[in-house]
Structures are given as structure tokens and as C-alpha cells.
Chains A and B, each alone.
Chain A
């Protein structure tokens, strides 16, 4: 059985599955249930200074797609609305009761050194394993110059990280907001400030929908709505890209992957693109803590099947293949192949190609029977039909023999700025 123990930012946990700082980690009651279910760690819901914030009624919105509920999830909840000492006492008790699990505390206080210094001392007293600086929250708190208002300014990220490293011996994780143009800027700033690791992504600014009767954005609070933070399965591709960018550009900066992780395969993908562990929220809020069971043995069984004995063995394994577009081989060709014995004649391969792409799949009738057939000369190998086909294995993209070796844009004759091979 594969070894799922991981260490991220110097913090060990029995498996890579942590619960992200969010409603599921707001209280000892929830966290104890999570640990009983098998979660490897938690990042406690963000603490702030007293008096606590006030939250709204109606806090979540969601995108349902084709009958799938919560394909995307949005919240307008702020940080914990419980007194600081209540949280600190519970954190202390939890860490005492669950010493083998990772307990990290998320923090957000005004952007002054004294504020950070003050809260760090109190948090350190709980015996927790580390702190996560919430520079990501993109709604509400950012209007009060905290959360993503800090995370969007690399200089602030660096400054606050440095304060925290100076005022605590605990590992400091910086949680990054995706609501920036270049994720590398705040990540590098955190690294310069001395962060032990970064976690990302926090939520994406969003409006999940509009109530067309009330004519108000969702979630609606007494007839009005505000933008929220978007997460859940829908944001996974955005998160994967940002994690991979950091893993590629800043290989010495440990990353905790967050964003739409729902099943073990999602986690494996984040880890392959450089995450040292993962944090989960929406999937647990949708289905409860029990989902971790399949995450643990699903990952373990997959690793066993592939001969990976430890999470470290797969961490970042796909990063070297995450390249810039200009490094892709333009002399690589595939064409779609339709296994006629599996085809159910839905025609989706044809109509997508015909209406929107390259007219490379002919809709034929052979003896009155529908037959969809690839026109090799027109197929550009785009994958659309393969993606649309509802039958697994019916359409495959088959590599074609092409004369010549690798040809990137840098070398391509069509590139006016191409580098001439050395004479």
C-alpha cells in the first residue's frame, strides 16, 4: 500500500487531504467529525480581531449544469463570526485530541504589524502546526482592505509575510487569490517574504446567477446581491493552471493545491502538477466528510497500480511537461478514429465538426444506416469529436507518422522571428 503521508511547509499529515479554511472548519464540532472521517488536516476557518464580523442570511449560490447540482459554488460569507478566544480554545483542544493531524490556522487582520504580531502570539499558544495568511478572500473583507486587497498587491504580500515570519516560529503559508493577472507576482512576493509555502487558489470573484423574478444577483440578500467567491468543480482548471505556473517557475516554493478537488483523481492531478498536498471544501459541503474515504483509497489504489510508493514520488511529475505554447511540437499530427462497432449514431461528432470546426466527419448513409466517418485530410486532430462522443473508447485520437522531427514555433518557417539553426 502506497505511503500517503505528506509534509507541506514543514507540516506533516497522515494523508494529503486537508479541509480548506471555510465553513467546514469553523468549529471544533465539525473538525472533530472531519478527523473521525479520516481527513489528514484542516486549515481552521479564518480568525480575525474581535469584535467578530457579522454574516448575512443567504450566503451561498451555485451553478447547476444539466441536472448536476453545485458544479460551481459561490459564497459571500466572511471570516469566522465567533469570538477569537472561543476559536483559540477549540483549536487547542482539537490539536491536543488529534496530535497526528495537521491543524493550521487561517488569519486575517488589518494590515499593521501590531495586529499581526498580536494575533500570532495568541495562535501560537494553541499548539497548532502553522498559520495560513488569508490574502485571498475576494468579497466583503477586501472592501475593508484585507483579504484579496492585500493579495493583489505583491508588495503587501511580501511585507505581511515578512512580519509574520519575524513574529512567529510557526510555518507560514500564504493563501493566494486568483483574482490577479499574473499569479507568479504574489507567489514570488510571498517567497521573498519568507513564506514556507503558498496555498491556492482562493475563490474567484463571481456572480453565480440572476434571480429573474427579483432581478437580483444570486445569492440574494433581501433583494440585493453582491459578488461572491467562486469555487467547486468548475474552477479546477483555473486552479490547476495557477498551481502549475508556480511549480514551474518557483520550484522551491511548496504549494498546497486548492480548487474544485472532489475525488482522488483531482488530487492526483494537482499533486502531479506540483502540489504537495490538497485542500478540499465544496465537495465536503456537498456530500459530507465521508468522501475522504474514497479519496484515500482511490489515490492509494491508483498509486499501487502505477507502482508509486509515496506521494513524494508523484509530486510535480507532470510539471516538466507543462511547457509554453511555443515549445509544443507543431510537427505532431493526430486524426480521429471512430470505432464503428461502438458508435451509437448520435451524430454529435459530426455536427460539432460540421457546424463549428473543420468539416472533417462525414455523415453518410450506408444501406440506409447512419455512418459517421472521419475525413483524414480535413481532420486537424483538435479532439472536439473525441470530447463530445458519449461512448468511452469509441473515438480515439491516433498519432500519425509525420516526416521530420520536432518543430516548434521558434523554428517554424512561418515564424518571422524564427531562430535559424546554427550553420
Chain B
């Protein structure tokens, strides 16, 4: 029915606002949300590791934002030195476990792999990385120890990958770190913003337990910048501050009716899928997701897996412009999610149903590029019926809590190469600064900031 012109089918009576939990039985839900990419067996890992050429100046390393010595860790897998392999990974990227699961490797290391050039079949770098890190974490091995306490104190705002990567590196140097986190759990988007089947079995929590086990890191939950703590106070109480705020704001469609029942932010839906039992998560029978990033893919695919019958992603530009990778798009299609391009929402259609006035559909305007290459809406319209509309058109930095103390540009905190902000002793990284919004980039930001903070605290800067 999606794509038909005119009024949504069914009129006011037949299931308008059909949003309910428990569309599928518990066993089906458990299967649907199981590990999307099961781990390699030890035998598979060795076979795959042996395919690696151990390149010099390996293109994969350059393609990794955290610069993991990929040929090095893969060789150690092939020789049975799994502890050494995990150490190589985690020295460069303490979130190596989750990056192995959520990185768009097809656009990073595996895209650069020389096997891609040779035979279009890269080494499964992500899967191998997971193999080594999982091996280590399963044994509870402590790899990192703290240097002698320095007595210096650093505040980290946000317990996401950027903040905790920074905290871990600082803790290794012997500094004391206090992490202030607004939400109830640490992990940031790893805990709240990524599809459940990418990090099943409480992986995000277990990884953070592993990271903070080094000691010297205290996490204070329920502490939001601008509400419970102020940047000014942090600067006074701590020797340095790292801001890993992420992007707490969600972009709006700017259409009337955005707050009516049935319309919600995809990122909230994803968080609910991560936090609540699957049987208790309400989902529409017909779902329209608006956006072109991984959030749209994660929301749409999970809506299907919760039992939505009909799920469509609508993106205003073409497949090449989607920030969701080709692999992610294919993943959604595999789950029977339709992806429609070159259409932008023009109107939210409200209708009275059994549960009062709810969203009943979205009217889209077809889009095209004008002569100057700018996107423009055309007069051509179509309507997609929907019980649930998920907005995934992007998030934004909420600047208020910064009290105007830190320079921003284009909605992001301005930082230098060492992730220093315009404010002395204040650093920032992750999605609140410019750059690709990826876990692996956030980790690198945290790592670089920690190195700079340590130099500053050691008087070497």
C-alpha cells in the first residue's frame, strides 16, 4: 500500500493508530534480536587470519580512525597469541570490542584492505577484532594498570565512548577521573543508540565494566551539564575538563502535528528497544521512518523485527547520499524494509481512530536537484499510510549547557588537533565536535584529548 496516491487506506475505522506491543511471541522476538553477526569460531578465525598478507604500511591501519595495528593483531590471532592480539587492539582503541561490532568496516578498514582490491573479498577485520577482544574479556584478564596516583583530577562530561576512552587513558596515567553522566547507565550511544542485535547480551555494559575496572574512574549518574553541574564549576574544581556531550538534541521535521501520538524520535525508539523487554515495546503495524542514516536503518529494521508488517524508510536524496552504508541499506532490505529515495515529508496526516487523533500517514513531496545542484521539492505528492512515524533526520548539539563559554561552529564545539576547545583546560570530543559521528572517531577524540590533558598536567605542554 505504501506509495499509493490519495488518502490512506482504511479510513477512520480500520486500525488507524494501530500501535501495540507483543506483536510477536517471545521466542520469535528472541531469535529476531539475537546477535546479527555471530562470532567467528576459533577455527574460522585462524583460517581468516591466515588470509591476511601482513601488509607493510597497511592501508587498513590508515583507514582506522584509531590507527589499530590491524596486521599486527591479526598475525597474533594466527599464531594463537590472543592475549597479545587483544592488547594490540585495546592499546589503540579501548572500545575495540564495540567498534568490532558497530564500525562501518565496509567503509573503513575492510574497504581499504588490499584483498578488496585483489578479489573483492576483504579480510573480516571486524570479526577478527571481536574474536580477540571477546577472548580476552571472557577471561576477565586485566591488561592495563594505573600509574602511581598523580593527585590531579579531571572531569569528564558524558559517559559515552569519547568520555570513557578519555577517562581510561587518563586513569592509566594515574589521574583521578570523575565522569558526569545525565542518564542512568553509562555507554552513551553504545547503550542507548544502536540496534539491539548489534550489541546483544549486555555487551555495552560488560565492556564498560571492563574499561572502568582499571580504577580511578568514578561515574556519577543523573548529572547533566547545565542542570546539575556547570562548566564554570567544573573548571574551578578540576584540573581539566573533557566534554563528551554527544548530540542530545533531535532535529524536527518542522511540520505541524509533530507531537501527536504515533510520531516520535527514532533515537528514543531505539533506546526503548535497547532498554525495555522486547514484548513490551509498542510498535505500529505500518511504520514510516524518515531519514537516511544508520539511525533510520536501526529504527526501521527493529520495527520490523518487533512485528511491524510494513516498514518504509523515506529519504530526501538518493542512495549514494545516505549516510547509512550500502551494507546497512542491504541489511534493512533483507528484513523487508523498503527504502524510498528522493522524497521529503510535506505533511503529517492526522486522523481520529479508536484511540483518538493519531497520525495516519505522511504526505511526501518528490524531490530533485535543481540546476545548481540544490535539493528542491516538486509538486508531485504521494501519501504513505502509517500508524507510527519515526523521525531520524539527525541530532544536534544542545548548546545551552555550555553557557556560551565555548566556541561553536555549525552546531559543533570547535576543537584543535589535540581536541582543545577555545576555553583553557577544556577539551571536547565525540559527536559534539566536528567529524564523522562514529564510535571509533569518538574513541580517537577521547584518546587524543587524554594525551593532551596528560601533557598539560605533566607540565609538558
Chain A residues within 8 Å of B, Cβ to Cβ: 66-67, 344-348, 350-351, 363, 370, 390-391
Contacts and interface: CB of A to CB of B under 8 A. Distances in A.
Contacts of B117: 344-345
A66 B114 contact: no
B56 A344 contact: no
A370 B57 contact: yes
A307 B33 CA distance: 62
A350 B58 CA distance: 12
B118 interface: yes
Given A370-B57, A390-B53, A344 B47 contact: no
Contacts of B114: 344-346, 390
Contacts of A391: 118
A347 B56 contact: yes
A66 B78 contact: yes
B214 interface: no
Contacts of B72: none
Which interface residue of B46, B78, B118 has the most chain A CB atoms within 10 A?
B118
Given A66-B78, A67-B78, A346 B55 contact: yes
Contacts of B54: 348
B118 A347 contact: no
Interface of B: 46-47, 50, 53-59, 78, 114-115, 117-118
Nearest to B116: A344
Nearest to A390: B53
Contact of A350 (B56, B115, B118): B56
A67 B47 CA distance: 6
10 contacts: A67-B47, A67-B50, A67-B78, A346-B53, A346-B56, A346-B114, A347-B55, A347-B57, A363-B56, A390-B118
Contacts of B57: 347, 350-351, 363, 370
Contacts of A348: 53-56
A301 B168 CA distance: 64
Nearest to B50: A67
Nearest to A349: B56
A345 B50 contact: no
Task: List 10 A-B pairs, minimum CB-CB distance, nearest first.
Answer: A347-B56, A351-B56, A67-B50, A344-B114, A344-B117, A346-B55, A346-B114, A344-B118, A66-B50, A346-B53
B11 to A, nearest CB: 59
A345 B53 contact: no
Which interface residue of A344, A345, A346 has the most chain B CB atoms within 10 A?
A346
Contacts of A350: 56-57
Contacts of B47: 67
A151 B382 CA distance: 91
Nearest to B43: A67
Which interface residue of B46, B57, B59, B78 has the most chain A CB atoms within 10 A?
B57
A16 B78 CA distance: 39
Given A345-B114, A346-B114, A67 B46 contact: yes
A370 B55 CA distance: 12
**Chain B: interface secondary structure?**
helix
Contacts of A363: 56-57
B58 A347 contact: yes
Contacts of B118: 344, 390-391
B49 to A, nearest CB: 8
Contacts of A347: 55-58
A160 B391 CA distance: 92
A391 B57 CA distance: 17
A347 to B, nearest CB: 3
A34 B442 CA distance: 63
Contacts of A344: 114-115, 117-118
Contact of A345 (B46, B59, B78): B59
A421 to B, nearest CB: 47
B45 to A, nearest CB: 11
Contacts of A351: 56-57
A347 B55 CA distance: 6
A346 B54 CA distance: 8
Nearest to A67: B50
A223 to B, nearest CB: 23
Nearest to B54: A348
Given A346-B53, A348-B54, A390-B118, 7 more contacts: A66-B78, A344-B117, A346-B58, A347-B58, A363-B56, A370-B57, A390-B114
A380 B75 CA distance: 30
Contacts of B115: 344
A370 B78 contact: no
Contacts of A66: 50, 78
A273 B303 CA distance: 69
Given A344-B118, A390-B118, A370 B59 contact: yes
A390 B58 CA distance: 14
Which interface residue of B55, B56, B114 has the most chain A CB atoms within 10 A?
B56
A73 B47 CA distance: 21
B437 to A, nearest CB: 24
Nearest to B117: A344
A69 to B, nearest CB: 11
A302 to B, nearest CB: 26
B436 to A, nearest CB: 18
B227 to A, nearest CB: 45
A196 to B, nearest CB: 45
A350 B54 CA distance: 13
Nearest to A368: B62
B423 to A, nearest CB: 34
A82 to B, nearest CB: 37
A363 B46 CA distance: 30
Contacts of B58: 346-347
A345 B63 CA distance: 14
Nearest to A363: B57
Contacts of B59: 345, 370
A391 B118 CA distance: 7
Contacts of A390: 53, 114, 118
A347 B59 CA distance: 9
Nearest to B112: A345
Contacts of B78: 66-67
A205 B32 CA distance: 57
A284 B352 CA distance: 78
B108 to A, nearest CB: 16
A344 B59 CA distance: 10
A274 B78 CA distance: 40
A345 B54 CA distance: 12
A390 B54 CA distance: 11
B47 to A, nearest CB: 6
A295 to B, nearest CB: 27
Nearest to A394: B118
A344 B123 CA distance: 14
Nearest to A347: B56
A97 B46 CA distance: 47
Contacts of B55: 345-348
A370 B115 CA distance: 15
A184 to B, nearest CB: 40
Nearest to A369: B59
A345 B59 CA distance: 8
A353 to B, nearest CB: 10
B42 to A, nearest CB: 12
Contacts of A370: 57, 59
A185 B20 CA distance: 90
A344 B46 CA distance: 23
B71 to A, nearest CB: 10
Nearest to A354: B56
Nearest to A68: B50
A67 B79 CA distance: 10
Nearest to B53: A346
Contacts of A346: 53, 55-56, 58, 114
